[in-house]
């Protein structure tokens, strides 16, 4: 699942491949930005912002969001793609490398000066140079909803997805349904930042410290299985601020009282 660490690695890979090079091929296969043509412009860099990717080319930005299925691949010019061509939503080619975005849920071209329109609403990003844990904690504490819901709201903290929310709450011993104002939010944010920063440079995401298949998580998607700490059976349900935004939650009834 693309979360903040996944997007960070994607941005770094794209930046290493494209930054400093002139665009020789540019295709956006969505109606809104289909006529955009940035050939001849230089790629200045690719930066992540929470779950958003900002590819800065000339004075324009190619903004994309991976959502659940999206991904960016980097190829040598002429190399066979590893995904079907009909899934490609964006193609940015340079002499040394081609970047292809497949099944991107959101892709558009806008002036770089207007980036705030698409990412200005986001809260502090624990993988950004300007990470402000105090601001993040204040935003989450002020949220009147369940802590699991508050953590997923990108306006509070940018980058945490459902897997992080479930695993972070287990590690801190907090039930997902507890109200945000009633928990140690500062400690929660500090632990979450350390988690995502540690996973940023790993090939495979892990919360337990064990990279073996099936051993990376404490509770996420482990409903009905024994807790790795106490042996109680992990429970599962759904939770959200409204029916249309419910996400699956997992917790240990003993370790998260």
% helix, strand, coil for the chain, step of 5: 30, 25, 45
Residue 31 and residue 90 in contact, taking contact as beta carbons nearer than 8 Å: no
- In the set 2, 124, 126, 176, the catalytic residue is 2
- Give the 3-state secondary structure of residue 44: strand
Assess contact for 145 and 70: CB atoms under 8 A.
no
Which of 12, 29, 228, 247 is flagged as catalytic? Answer: 247
User: Given 9, 48, 49, 51, which residue is catalytic?
Assistant: 51
Contacts 24+ apart (CB under 8 A), 93-98: 93/23, 93/24, 93/25, 93/26, 94/17, 94/18, 94/21, 94/22, 94/23, 94/24, 94/43, 95/21, 95/22, 95/24, 96/17, 96/21, 97/17, 97/18, 97/21, 98/25, 98/74
Distance between CA atoms of 106 and 20, rounded to whole angstroms? 25
Active-site position among 3, 108, 163, 167 = 3
Instruction: Please confirm, yes or no, whether 247 is among the known catalytic residues.
Output: yes
51 annotated active-site: yes
- Of 137, 46, 52, 58, the closest CA to residue 99 belongs to 46
Distance CA 252, CA 224 (A): 10
Structural element, H or E, at residue 133: helix 133-141
**H/E element, 110:** strand 106-111
Catalytic (active-site) positions = 2-3, 51, 247
């Amino acid at each position: 699942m693309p979360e903040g660490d996944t997007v960070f690695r994607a941005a770094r890979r794209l930046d290493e491949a494209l930054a400093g090079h002139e665009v020789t091929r540019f295709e956006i296969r969505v109606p809104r930005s289909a006529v955009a043509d940035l050939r001849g412009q230089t790629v200045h860099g690719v930066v992540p912002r929470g779950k958003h990717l900002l590819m800065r080319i000339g004075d324009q930005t190619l903004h994309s969001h991976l959502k659940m299925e999206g991904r960016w691949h980097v190829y040598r010019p002429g190399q066979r793609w590893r995904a079907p061509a009909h899934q490609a939503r964006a193609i940015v080619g340079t002499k040394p490398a081609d970047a292809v975005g497949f099944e991107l849920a959101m892709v558009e071209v806008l002036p770089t000066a207007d980036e705030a329109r698409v990412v200005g609403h986001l809260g502090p990003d624990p993988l950004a140079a300007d990470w402000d844990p105090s601001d993040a904690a204040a935003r989450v504490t002020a949220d009147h909803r369940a802590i699991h819901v508050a953590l997923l709201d990108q306006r509070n903290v940018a980058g945490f997805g459902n897997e992080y929310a479930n695993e972070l709450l287990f590690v801190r011993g907090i039930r997902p349904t507890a109200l945000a104002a009633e928990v140690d939010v500062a400690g929660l944010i500090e632990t979450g930042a350390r988690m995502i920063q540690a996973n940023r440079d790993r090939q495979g995401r892990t919360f337990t410290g064990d990279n073996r298949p099936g051993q990376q998580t404490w509770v996420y998607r482990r409903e009905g299985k024994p807790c790795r700490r106490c042996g109680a059976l992990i429970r599962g349900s759904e939770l959200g601020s409204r029916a249309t935004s419910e996400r699956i939650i997992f917790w240990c009834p003993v370790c998260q009282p």
